[in-house]
Amino acid sequence: MWSSEECRRILDEVIRLSDADETEAYLGGGHSALTRFANNSIHQNVEEMNVSLTVRTVLGKRAGRASTNKLDHDSLVRVIEDAKAIARVSEPDAGMLPVPGPAATENNDAYVEETASTTAEQRAAEVGKIVSRAETRGLTAAGKYLTGWGSLGEYGEKPAFALANSRGHFACYRCSRAEVGATIIAKDSSGWVGTNHHDARRLDIARLGDIATWKAEASANPREVPPGAYTVILEPEAVANLLWFLVWTDGFNALAADEERCFATGKVGQKLFGENITIEDDAFHPLHMSRPWDGEGVPKKKIALVENGVLKSLVYDRRTAAKHGVEPTGHGFPAPNLMGAWPTELVVHGGSQSVEDLVRSTERGILVTRFWYNRTVDPMKCIVTGMTRDGTFLVEGGKIVSGLKNFRFNESALEMLNKVEAMSAPERADSIVVPAMKVRDFHFTSVTRF
């Protein structure tokens, strides 16, 4: 990955070349390498190396933004002129804030060279650990193993990993990543496992293959039980699949609260969740190690969002913070920003039990590996619908007794967090840090035929 010095050299050149009143420049992209497998064979290896330079220029109260993936001198000049041309025809913004000045950003380097330079042969060897476990059991494996560096997403998105502006602010975040997901498929059942980390050496892929294989075999010949309200043990992935909707429905977004379009509207200081629920946003948590500044270049702060069930804080972009006379929290998006702020490094405090402990303490309930095809039903109440998938089990007398056919559910994430009876230690799942949870009266609305 480019060094901080190299990023600064490129961005400083953009600032030097621009004669706009104010200029911001962002570097994003990087390298992404993906190995996909299905039917116990690798069928795809793809690699992408791409960079995005985005320039925002300000002329008076007008601003324009343009991007390029070329970094030669002529291309830098061209992208600056394009941004200025867009600014000249843009509507003036009377509430526009000046670009932020220099600010110390805490180092949160999450770059591991061994991960960034992982080869296709190395990924194939790791995939082989999963496939071999499936083949020896007469099962079929499918999934992916991705490695890379920078901010290049699987679908081509390129958020910034470095920025600079004409007031002398510079920030850079060096990171690598490794992500694995695998489904083991049997005749009438399946098992899934997945995780991600900035250090591929922290992924025990052989163990993940064992877990997915066990789930596929243990859920074979699934029984059908009627829909209704059940005690559930939600594994961390299932918890994360639901709690992301607290963010996606703008639940902790100060701008959304001002506009009365989220569950937090007028409720800061109120008890909304069970007393055993504490949620923070912490980019510096060792299981996150995320970018330590937001899309505006503001350093991120650790924020206590929920404390013992009480909604304590919201997150603020610069514009909304100025309106309220408070400091921005470092969760905003690049200007012009109509979205406000999102806390994307959630950490949910947990307990000391294991998933096995939660199962043993349950007289009758359902163990859920993960949810799938989840969608919002009511954003103000944070009601979500979706389906269980890849490992749903009936628990009786503190033991897993059979696999179950999958369910569709309708459940409010807010109400669910008032019904949590016990939790495991938190772990990273679906890019947030959450525990497994034992929850009473979880609402399953219908049964599938698989």
Q: Are residues 326 and 423 in the same domain?
A: yes
Is residue 205 situated within a structural domain? Answer: no
Q: Are residues 170 and 229 in the same domain?
A: no
Is residue 141 situated within a structural domain? Answer: no
Q: Are residues 270 and 407 in the same domain?
A: yes
Is residue 89 situated within a structural domain? Answer: yes
Mean of the per-residue pLDDT values of the chain: 96
pLDDT of amino acid 156: 81
Domain boundaries, position 107: 4-123+153-174
Q: Count the domains in the chain.
A: 2
pLDDT of amino acid 157: 85
Q: In angstroms, what CA-CA distances link 21 with 13, 61, 62, 64, 185?
A: 16, 10, 10, 12, 59
Q: Are residues 338 and 444 in the same domain?
A: yes
Q: Are residues 348 and 422 in the same domain?
A: yes
Is residue 372 situated within a structural domain? Answer: yes
pLDDT of amino acid 280: 98
Q: Are residues 282 and 375 in the same domain?
A: yes
Q: Read off the pTM.
A: 0.95
Q: Are residues 109 and 234 in the same domain?
A: no
Q: In terms of Cα–Cα distance, which of 23, 28, 35, 17 is closest to 74?
A: 17
| CATH number for 22 | 3.30.2290.10
331 forms beta bridges with none
- Cβ contact 283:300 at 8 Å: yes
Looking at 174, 209, 236, the residue that finishes a domain is: 174
Residue-by-residue pLDDT tens, the chain, 450 positions: 899 999 999 999 999 999 999 999 999 999 999 999 999 999 999 999 999 999 999 999 999 999 999 999 999 999 999 999 999 999 999 999 999 999 988 888 999 999 999 999 999 999 999 999 999 999 999 999 999 999 988 778 889 999 999 999 999 999 999 999 999 999 999 999 999 999 999 999 999 999 999 999 999 999 999 999 999 999 999 999 999 999 999 999 999 999 999 999 999 999 999 999 999 999 999 999 899 999 999 999 999 999 999 999 999 999 999 999 999 999 999 999 999 999 999 999 999 999 999 999 999 999 999 999 999 999 999 999 999 999 999 999 999 999 999 999 999 999 999 999 999 999 999 999 999 999 999 999 999 988
Is residue 139 situated within a structural domain? Answer: no
Q: Are residues 427 and 298 in the same domain?
A: yes
Is residue 132 situated within a structural domain? Answer: no
Q: Are residues 169 and 234 in the same domain?
A: no
Q: Are residues 356 and 442 in the same domain?
A: yes
Q: Are residues 166 and 241 in the same domain?
A: no
Is residue 18 situated within a structural domain? Answer: yes
Is residue 22 situated within a structural domain? Answer: yes
Q: Are residues 167 and 273 in the same domain?
A: no
